[in-house]
Amino acid sequence: MEQAAHLAIQDVHQLNGRLLRNLAKIPDDRLNWSPAPTARTPLQLVAHCAFSLGFIHTMLNGTPYPAKTTALADAEFLEMEREITTREQALSLWENRFHQYLSFLISLQPDQMDTLVRLPFAMGELPMHFMAGIGAVHTREHVAQLEHLQTIYGDREW
């Protein structure tokens, strides 16, 4: 297996565990809570990670997210995330998107690694060997937000 794909698989597995552990620690009465009207709830963060992983997978397959601007994409994501209101919905969505992305990474062949991936928002192109790990990078940032929310209501245990 090509090195970049192997590292991406390791990273996304590590983040899957981290996301699941953190979500499991969120009390039921905090699942739909956020510290401000503009902040995502824990369930919305997990949904955002899942939806994003799905769209990243689609991008790696040749179709970038269709919104023309990040502001439009953000509004679309927030709308999708509002539909996820239970732990079970969030977990099901995450597990589905995670396994699809993981399967894609496992299927990558060495001759695909120099393929250029077209980015959303007219940001250009980058080679697959760089982009294969972007799902883990994106998820890592949002799992950190989930951990921060936990500290706001007093959970200081890692």
Question: Between vectors from CA 54 to CA 122 and to CA 132, what angle results, nearest 5°?
Answer: 70
What does the domain layout of the chain look like in residue ranges?
Answer: 1-153
Number of Cβ atoms within 10 Å of the Cβ of 139: 27
- Please report the pLDDT score of residue 95 as a whole number: 98
- Please report the pLDDT score of residue 1 as a whole number: 65
- Please report the pLDDT score of residue 156 as a whole number: 82
* pTM of the full structure: 0.95
Can you tell me the mean pLDDT for 145-152?
92
Structure tokens at 23: 């979500």
Q: Specify the CATH superfamily of domain 1-153.
A: dinb family like domain (1.20.120.450)
Q: Is the pLDDT of residue 106 over 70?
A: yes
Torsion (CA) 128, 129, 135, 141 in degrees, nearest 10: -130
Helix (H) or strand (E) segment spanning residue 16? helix 3-25
Residue 8 identity: A
51-102 confidence digits (pLDDT tens): 999 999 999 999 999 999 999 999 999 999 999 999 999 999 999 999 999 9
